[in-house]
Structure formats: C-alpha cells, structure tokens
Amino acid sequence: MYIKKRLLTVVLSGLLLTACTPLVKDEVAYPEDVTKPKLSQYELNVISEKIYQNETSGDPKNLMFWSTNENFASLGIGHFIWYPAGEPKRFDETFPAMIDYYVANKVQVPAWLLHARKIGAPWRDRATFERARQDREFQQLKMLLMNTKALQTQFFFDRLHASIPEIVKYVAPQYRKHIVNNYNALAATKGGWYPLIDYINFKGKGIKATERYNNQGWGLLQVLKNMRPVQAGPFALMEFSRSAKEILQRRVRNSPPERNEQRWLKGWMKRVNGYATPIL
C-alpha cells in the first residue's frame, strides 16, 4: 500500500489541487497529503449555465434527449449517458453515478429512479422515450435536472479530479510530465476550469478502448497530450482550444462514413472555440 501511494505521489507531483466536496463513485484515491480543488458557488453557477447553453441551447426540453443515431438517453445539463438494460455500452455511462451523487448530497430522488438506477434506463428505445415525454415520471426527472444544475457541475468537477490519476497512469511515462504540466497550467489560469470540466463531460477521459477510431481517441487525455507546453495565463486557454479543435477534426476524419460525423463538426468547433476566452 505504501509503495502504491508513493508511486501515485510521484506521478502526480506538481498537480495544482486545493479541497473539495463529495467524491464520485469509484474515484481513484489520492495520497493523503494531496487535497482536492474547490470551486466557489459563483464559479459553479457560471460554469453550469454555460454548459447548459452548450448542451441544450437554453431549451429545457433538451435536458432529456435521445439522438436518432444512439442507443441511449442523454440527460441533464451535460447530457449524461444512460443505457437501457441489455444495450452495449460503448461510451462511459455516467447517469447512474449522477443518481448516486444526488443521494450522497441528500437530494430527494424519486423511488422509481433509485430502482431504475440498478437495472437501466426505463425507456427501451428512442420511440418509447419520446412517447413518455408527458408522463409523470418523465416530468419528475426533468424538474430534478432543471433544479440541480450547479450540483451536476460539481459532479463534473469531481469527475475531472478523479480522472487525472487515471489519465496520468494510462499514458506512457515519457508523456506524463507534459500532461500534468498542461493540466496545471489550465488549473492555474483564470477561467481555466471551465474548458477542463466541459471537455471531459463533452468527450470523456480518452482512455476507454471503445472510444477510438483508427486506434486514436478524442478525450481529455488526447487534448492535453496534443497541446504545446504552456504556462498559466491566456495562452493556456488558447492552446487548449486549438488542441481540442485538432483532436475533434481528427475524430471526424477517422470516423466511419456511415456515421456522418461531419454534420456535428461546426457545432463542436463553435463550442471549443469558446474555450479560448475566459467566462469568469
């Protein structure tokens, strides 16, 4: 145990981290001498509204969405993924963990939602989902999501923090310092938490084997690795934005033609262009 903690301390040396609230389920433990980051309520509110606009265009109807091209529902301001029972889980399923986070934070959650968390989304497909829009349970969940935007953002933030040791341990040793330094630069930059939080929610960690085209991922790991070395300050935001654009363009080039991912690229570019300018 001592060796394991010591190794993680070495790998994460220099990470800019200060104290935080409840942890995400299955979080990788940090060494006892490393504290967690914390966002102010103001920062949480500003970032949550920005993510809400990114994912829903400010329309509450879009808080609960099911794409015609997917086998899962997308819920909340960050469009958490929730699969029905029996569906293959290509992407990280995040909504069951969000339900657990509600419980941990003493948010009142309907009994049906607690039950469904154990078995899968209550809609077997998109058609069932759309027919359910006026149902009592659907409306209950929509109201819960609308009233907890800041807490959802805190979940994203905790998930970001929990992902850093996973990302660092995943890559080859020669890339670790580069990734940690670029992460630190963003973390120490005014407005730098927003692109980090938004991107990991938007495109994941970048370590899942099924989130690859031509063996190339598109998550936070790939963006941090693709960045040029930066120091804290405005250039760190611009460089993160530039790198994210390159990684997403590469994803589209590598994607299967039948998925027609080119149709999403304009919106993706608009979103990551916004990372270059601090919102706080």
Rounded CA separation 44/122 (Å): 30
Length of the chain: 280
Two tokens at 123?
């809609």
Q: What percent of the chain has pLDDT over 70?
A: 87
Q: Which long-range contacts (CB under 8 A, 24 or more apart) does 239-243 make?
A: 239/182, 240/182, 240/186, 240/192, 240/195, 240/196, 240/199, 240/275, 240/276, 241/195, 241/272, 241/273, 241/274, 241/275, 241/276, 242/276
Q: What pLDDT score does 2 carry?
A: 37
Sign of the CA dihedral with 91 first, then 149, 279, and 73 last = positive
Two tokens at 12?
């994460």
Q: What percent of the chain has pLDDT over 90?
A: 71
Q: What pLDDT score does 21 carry?
A: 37
Q: What pLDDT score does 133 carry?
A: 97
Q: What pLDDT score does 7 carry?
A: 35
pLDDT over threshold 50, residue 4: no
Quick one: average pLDDT of 73-100? 94
CB 38 within 8 A of CB 18: yes
pLDDT over threshold 50, residue 185: yes
The residues near 256 (Cβ < 8 Å, ≥ 6 apart) are 213
| Chain mean pLDDT for the chain | 87
* Tens of pLDDT, residues 230-248: 999 999 999 999 999 999 9
Q: What is the enclosing helix (H) or strand (E) of 222?
A: helix 220-226
